[in-house]
Structure 1
Amino acid sequence: MAGGAGAVSVGERAVAEAAAKVSEMLERVFATAQETGEQAARLLVRARARDRRLSSRDLTELQPLLRRQLARHIGLISGTGFVASPGLLADVPAWMEWWQTRVGGGVQPMLLDLDPATSAYSDYTHWDWYALPRDTGERAVSGPYVDYLCSDEYSLTLAVPVRLDGVFSGVAAADVYLRHFEAAAGPALAGIPGPAYLVNPRGRVAASNTPAHLAGSLVRDLDAASARGELLLHPCGEIPLVLVTEP
């Protein structure tokens, strides 16, 4: 039987399915970051129990977990790890215990020069993937952006804050190449009749079915456009992305 005032239209169903697909996919990425954060916090607690500060050597204990995570999420997660708050570690001013996929397969540690005297990228605290979890206490989706620090790829970074006794100690994060995200989310967006695109809280487009709003572009004043009835904003579960469509 067709029609009826309470019937769900094809477009509404496609929007709901797209939002659910994006939510399910990125919740898996956030779960990976959360797992890393919990393990890093356990290392912090253990170091404190030994009445000493954590060092970069202690964080090598994260490596088996990070390698397993990358193997478990081939084609989705391209990098994962823990980024320490500057000053947290006794032996280095800053540190990223980070592993990433390698061209041609396999995984490898990312070895960065984080010495402020020699590296232009030593201060990572201004990047959204670090600053948003630190400042808000909430998990965050950063990007798309060109990840000059890790891969030179257009990427999304999903990050969660890590705390010790309520004090911010760094972030646990995972990278998703934008090409992988678009390949996964694109078919669901293509099923929506009309323009549709995903934006992060900064208004940055993460994926789209319309050339009017390409991935990486910035959309301003979404809330005002929604209040005027020009756009519809659909949450993707608890993921900090919004699916935008037209009425």
Structure 2
Amino acid sequence: MTVADVDARVGDALEGVFEAVGRIAADTHAVLASAMRDGRRPMSADLAALRPGLHTCLTQYDLVSGIGFVATPGLLDDVPGWLEWWQTRADGAVHPLLLDLDPDHSAYYDYTHWDWFSLPRDTGQRAVAGPYVDYLCSDEYSLTLAAPVTVEGRFTGVAAADIYLRRFEAVVMPLLQRLPGPARLVNARGRVASSTDPRHLVGSLTKGPDFAAVLTGPADGAQHGGLHLRPCDGVPLILVTAAPPAGRP
């Protein structure tokens, strides 16, 4: 199996989840735009219209453990912040995530600094955040796939989905193991999402290369310090392998 084959297979695995995120982004855009056309600011109750679609995504996409829309602070008229977020329990039941989003309270949860929110906000592009231990939702290592939601050119928040890392690795590790040498997948920050390289463990940071630039560069990737960095097909992850010897593709 070649690095191109692995890139394509990883892209296929995550593209389905990004498809779900895209559906939620489109539904959210419609809800927010409708309120704005009525000449008012949206309210948290408006976002209840997303729930049937969120519940459907949780049952249709095996990799997804939680999904929803996270509003940028100040967007809604009745609350300072909001997560319209639903997830599945171990018994398969679907339930909402309830957090204290009042900045005047000591238990306030400020989500704006997390990569899954800040990367789509700052770049205008979809992103893969993590892996990290998701203490709020599951206490499990997770990845979050997110995309910005904009209405009339204004950033309104992110549509996102959580994936348990163990489910992701069950899909991608067999692919990485078929490559001839150590390999790892990293996100735009250089954080390792999956690895067969004992020197670079899952969750650690890879320093040095500008991974964000690789994602927007040539499809065949770039070389850096003896490494080959290749963006995965259509999704914001990078496959890192040893650079081929001179004269070999």
Q: Which TM-score applies when normalising by structure 2? A: 0.89
Q: Which has the higher mean CA deviation after the structures are superposed, 123-132 or 113-122?
A: 113-122
Pairs within 5 Å for 1:102-181: 102-181=89-168
Q: Contact between 1:121 and 1:149, CA under 8 Å: does it hold in 2?
A: no
Amino acid at match of 2:97: M
1:201 matches 2:201: no
Aligned to 1:9: none
Separation in structure 2 between the aligned mates of residue 14 and residue 194 of structure 1, nearest angstrom? 11
Question: CA RMSD, aligned part only?
Answer: 1.6
1:1-247 equivalent positions in 2, closer than 5 A: 13-74=1-62, 76-222=63-209, 226-228=223-225, 230-247=226-243
- SS of the residue corresponding to residue 50 of structure 2 reads helix
Contact 1:54 1:89 in 2 (8 A): yes
Looking at structure 2, the residues matched to 232 and 120 of structure 1 have their Cα atoms a distance apart, in angstroms, of 44
Q: CA deviation at 1:18?
A: 1.6
Check conservation: 1:156, 1:176, Cα contact below 8 A.
yes
1:133 and 1:159 in contact (8 A); partners too: yes
Q: Deviations over 1:23-44 (max 9, x none)?
A: 0111111111111011001001
Q: TM-score normalized by structure 1?
A: 0.90
Q: Equivalent pairs: percent with the same residue? A: 57
The structure-2 alpha-carbon separation of the partners of 1:17 and 1:95, relative to structure 1 and needing over 3 Å to count, comes to: same
Matched residues, number: 233
Counterpart position of 2:217: none
Q: Do the aligned residues in 2 keep the contact of 1:19 with 1:243 (CA within 8 Å)?
A: yes
Offset of residue 120 of structure 1: 4.0
Q: Secondary structure at the match of 1:203?
A: coil
Moved over 4 A (4+): none
CA distance in 1, matches of 2:135, 2:105: 16
- Aligned to 2:44, the other structure's residue is in SS state coil
Q: Tell me the secondary structure at the aligned position of residue 130 of structure 1.
A: helix
What CA distance in whole angstroms lies between the structure 2 residues aligned with 1:121 and 1:20? 41
Contact 1:82 1:172 in 2 (8 A): yes
In structure 2, the gaps of 5 or more residues are 212-221, 244-249
- CA, structure 1 residues 223+64, in 2 after alignment: closer, same or farther (shift >3 Å)? closer
Deviation at 1:108, TM superposition (A): 1.2
The Cα of 1:15 is off from its aligned counterpart by 2.0
In structure 2, relative to structure 1, the CA distance for the partners of 1:172 and 1:91 (3 Å cut) is same
Q: Classify the secondary structure of the residue corresponding to 2:2.
A: helix
Counterpart CA distance in 2 for 1:29 and 1:46 is: 26
What residue ranges of structure 1 are gaps of 5+ in the alignment? 1-12
